[in-house]
Structure 1
């Protein structure tokens, strides 16, 4: 029986009462602070001042715990708006915000569909907004938006992690490698790249995300209108 359907153990008079919700919230706090590598059933049990074996009555494996953590964050993603374009934009923005609040979330999305209740509610809201779109187009449309968002936020999180690992923010990194690029561009071998780097607009992360999302939504709208 999947964890979504498996009943929790009955309550017992113990000094530290447990529930799946308490376990998941403790795991999320650990992951928010120190990443997924900080999450194990033993560490979660310690955070709850409970014996590790007690947790197995609620969660059988660490993979189940990760599934529950993802679904808990999916509850924070509530797409809304008038019309499918606004709903898809809301989906993208809310997913990005969730990743910024829970960096580890970027590592757990993008594989097989999440089937927890909050994940299903999120998908229901999106598909309902696409009710007027051809049913054969709906899944590729949502998949395209999800793929864009996952790729974009993973790039942002990789940049964050690089800053922590190197101690250099984006501006410092550019100052360090700028002279190398100028010497390389001076060879004349990369004229198109040199033009873009020197003359193109340099957008921040928010502007880059929204511009790319607009390109995608414009393309979807053109296709759906046909």
Structure 2
């Protein structure tokens, strides 16, 4: 007997297609109709794997959060763990900025987000932070990372020197920021993260 053909759809394929749609056109672009069309199936087929569009969004958010490395809290002192986790967290979100507002609502019931919160909170408490302060630090990092991933500071300036020449004498090189986007944005994040951790180190447990 011939082998049965593989299933046309899987949760993984649906999540990948939904992620691509959100990355390309934003959260509002995701609909079951557009998603089904992108996958070459009929809309009702999606409901064999997900009950609602919100369940698909949660699965996308969970998959992106799962890319964040939280292992550092088991292998490094808290300042270095916080620094490495922060950079990993930002990379995952910056690769998918359109999903950030959805992620910023909190972990909900998403396993990857809850596992991340558990690892960070547990690592900070083990390092000597009081539970309430460990909660504050986790929240602070989420605010900082999510804000940095929402958009590019460097790309906010147009590449036309004439715009700045007449009225903004201190922005004479602003037209060049976009071409250095990665170094500007990543450098700003690293500077802010270092300052944040240094400030915490002065008021909390030794690393």
After TM superposition, the score normalised by the length of structure 2 is: 0.78
Offset, 1:116 = 1.3
Kindly report which structure 2 residues correspond to 1:167-178, keeping only aligned pairs within 5 A, or say none: 170=157, 172=159, 175-178=162-165
SS in 1 for 2:9: coil
Q: Cα distance, 1:105 vs. partner?
A: 2.5
Secondary structure of 2:88's aligned partner: helix
Q: Does 1:129 align with 2:109?
A: no
What residue is the counterpart of 1:48 in the other structure? 39
Q: SS of 1:18's equivalent?
A: coil
1:36 Cα deviation (Å)? Answer: 2.4
Any conservation in 2 of the 1:74–1:119 contact (CA below 8 Å)?
yes
Give ranges in structure 1 of 5+ residues lacking alignment: 1-12, 163-169, 183-193
The answer to whether the Cα contact below 8 Å between 1:79 and 1:126 also exists between their aligned partners in 2 is yes
Q: Is the 8 A contact 2:121 2:134 kept in 1?
A: yes
Instruction: Decide which structure has the larger Cα Rg and report it.
Output: 1
* Alpha-carbon distance in 2 for matches of 1:103, 1:139: 25
Q: CA 1:72–1:175 in 2, change beyond 3 Å: closer, same or farther? A: farther
Counterpart check, 1:152 vs 2:148: yes
Deviates more, 1:89-98 or 1:69-78: 89-98
Q: 1:116 maps to what in 2?
A: 110
Find the counterpart in structure 2 of residue 181 from structure 1.
168
Matching residue of 1:35: 26
CA distance in 1, matches of 2:134, 2:151: 26
8 A contact 1:16–1:48 mirrored in 2: no
The correspondence of residues 72-221 of structure 1 with structure 2, limited to 5 A, is 72-81=63-72, 82-130=76-124, 131-132=126-127, 133-156=129-152, 160=155, 170=157, 172=159, 175-182=162-169, 204-221=184-201
Query: How big is the shift at 1:33?
Result: 2.9
Residues 91 and 181 of structure 1: CA distance in aligned 2, closer, same or farther (over 3 Å): same
Q: Matches of 1:28 and 1:155 in 2, distance apart?
A: 18
Q: Distance in 2 between matches of 1:151 and 1:179?
A: 32
Distance 1:126 1:174 in 2: 45
RMSD: 2.7
TM-score, normalised by the number of residues in structure 1: 0.72
CA distance in 1 between counterparts of 2:67 and 2:48 reads 27
Where does the alignment leave 5 or more consecutive residues of structure 2 unmatched?
A: 178-182
Alpha-carbon distance between aligned partners in 1 of 2:165 and 2:205, rounded to the nearest angstrom? 44
